[in-house]
Amino acid sequence: MSRSKHPSPEKYIPSIRDIKVSLFSEYRWIGFLSGRGKPYDHILDGLVKIGEFWNSEDSYSEDGAFTMKWMADKLHESPAHISKWIRTIYEDLFVINNSEPELFVADGEILCDFLFSGFREDCYCSFSFGLPALPHVGDTLDFCFVRAALGCDFFYIRGIRHDRHGGKTSIMIDCEAGTGLNRFREFMLDKARFMNEIGIMTEYEARPYLDDMLRAYERKGHVPSVEAVIRESEERWKRWEETRKK
């Protein structure tokens, strides 16, 4: 799905519910942090059990389950500590994923490095995990774990790159938020490349505004400068803000 990105009015901050949903969607990974001397180490086993309950058919059987108070009672800690620690645990999983990606690969799986881009220009992250087989460009991927990082959890595969260095091969998969690849957008991008209307550096640096540039190319027959597109985008955003305040 193609979309325009405009200046965001405020930085994206995930809710505590989004963090719980993301964390418990891959609750087994919580155990990777055990024994590392973290201040939350004593609640990790309990969080894994809560995550297992979250994903079970019995998860709706207990009134008030998964609130901060309910979790604090189960873990024998204060709600304030639990709220703080699950945010830290979520962030720390990204840290060890970067340093120890092999933990996130099961037997027989292929390690892949994913770059996820959200609907907002300030929302992007990378994460590595194993897949039973390599995907194809245009395939879709639902990955709930990154919802708290990006504000969304459904993506499509934009590109796949193989990087050979130092005797090792890395597989990098570029994912964008959306329900599927927009074939007309890809056609316009390929046309702009072929006609030398857009270069690889411009494409990279102007990525948040690339859709607007391609729309202008379709309407006017040439790709405007990045600066012109940014000005137009900011003016359009200001008009929208003024309309919303009325």
The proportion of the chain whose per-residue pLDDT surpasses 90, expressed as a percent, equals 62
- Percentage of the residues of the chain whose pLDDT score is greater than 70: 94
Residue 10's pLDDT is 54
The per-residue pLDDT for range 58-79, each reduced to its tens digit, is 887 777 789 999 999 999 999 9
CA dist., res. 48 & res. 129, Å (int): 19
More confident residue, 96 or 232: 96
pLDDT class of 243 with cuts at 50, 70, 90: confident
- Where is average pLDDT lowest: 14-23, 145-154, 177-186? 177-186
**Average of per-residue pLDDT across 175-179:** 91
Q: What mean pLDDT value characterizes the chain?
A: 89
Q: What is the pLDDT of residue 232?
A: 80
Query: Residue 5 above 50 pLDDT?
Result: no
Secondary structure in 3-state letters for the chain: CCCCCCCCCCCCCCCHHHHHHHHHHCHHHHHHHCCCCCCCHHHHHHHHHHHHHHCCCCCCCCCCCCCHHHHHHHHCCCHHHHHHHHHHHHHHHHHHHHHCHHHHCCCCCEEEEEEEECCCCCCEEEEEEEECCCCCCCCEEECHHHHHHHCCCEEEEEEEEEEEECCEEEEEEEEEECCCCCHHHHHHHHHHHHCCCCCHHHHHHCHHHHHHHHHHHHHHCCCCCHHHHHHHHHHHHHHHHHHHHC
- Residue 78 or residue 2, greater confidence: 78
Q: What pLDDT score was predicted for residue 181? A: 81
The structure tokens 């245009």 sit at 138
User: For the whole model, what pTM was predicted?
Assistant: 0.78
Q: How far is CA 84 from the centre of its chain?
A: 21
Report for 98-107, 195-204, 225-234: range of highest mean pLDDT: 98-107
Q: Residue 200 class from Cβ within 10 Å (0-12 exposed, 13-18 middle, 19+ buried)?
A: exposed
User: Do the Cβ atoms of 134 and 112 come closer than 8 Å?
Assistant: yes
Residue type, 30: I
pLDDT, position 239: 84
Q: Looking at residue 225, what is its pLDDT?
A: 84
Question: What's the pLDDT score for residue 4?
Answer: 41
Residue-level pLDDT at 11: 66
Nearest to 113 by CA among 122, 101, 99, 123: 101
Structure confidence by residue, pLDDT tens digits, 18-70: 999 999 999 999 999 999 999 999 999 999 999 999 999 888 777 778 999 99
Q: Where do the structural domains in the chain lie, given as residue ranges?
A: 16-100, 104-177, 183-245
pLDDT tens-digit map of 209-223: 888 889 988 888 888
Which tens digits make up the pLDDT trace of 75-130? 999 999 999 999 999 999 999 999 999 999 999 999 999 999 998 877 889 999 99
